[in-house]
Amino acid sequence: MSPLWCYLTVSALLFCIGLAGALTRRNAIMVLIGIELMLNAANLNFIAFWRFSEHPETQTGLMFALFSIAIAAAEAAVGLALIITIYRHFKTANVDKVEDLKG
Partner 1 sequence: MSWILKNLWLIPVLPLLAAGISALLKRPNRSLSAGLAIGALGTSFLLSLAAFAQTLGKHGAAARQVHNFDWFALGDTVVRLGWVLDPLTAAMVVMITFVGSLIFIFSVGYMSHDENFTRFFCFLSLFAAAMLGLIIANNLLLLFMCWELVGLASYLLIGFWFHKPSAAAAAKKAFITTRIGDVFFFLGIVWLYSETGTLLFYDAGRGCLEQDALAKMVAHSTIGGLAASSAIGLLLFAGAVGKSGQLPLHVWLPDAMEGPTPVSALIHAATMVAAGVFLVARVYPLMELQQAGVSQPIPLTAVTWIGALTAVFAAFVAVAQTDIKRILAYSTVSQLGYMFMGLGIGGVGVGMFHLLTHAFFKALLFLGSGSIIHGCHEEQDIRRMGGIRKFMPTTFATYAIGMMALSGVPLVFCGFWSKDEILNAAWLYQPSKIPFFLGLGGAFLTAFYMTRQMCFVFAGKYRGGHETAHDDHGHSHSHGDAHAHDPHESPAVMTLPLQILAACTVLLTLVSTPLWPWLPHYLNGESAHLDPGHLFNAGTLTLLLVSAVVVATGIGLGWWFYGLLPAEKPDEKDPLEQQFPEQFAWSRGKFFFDELYAATFVRWNARLGLLCNDLDRRVLDLLVSIVGWATNGCAHIAKLFDELVVNKLFDAGCTEVRRGAEAASELQGGQIHQYLRSIGVALILFVFILAVGCNK
Distances (CA, A) of 59 to 3, 86, 93: 20, 40, 41
Whole-number minimum distance, CB 57 to partner 1, in Å? Answer: 28
Return residues touching partner 1 (CB under 8 A). 19, 22-23, 31, 95-96, 98-103
* C-beta closer to partner 1: residue 12 or 62: 12
* C-beta closer to partner 1: residue 54 or 96: 96
* C-beta closer to partner 1: residue 51 or 97: 97
Residue 19 CA to residue 6 CA, distance in Å, equals 20
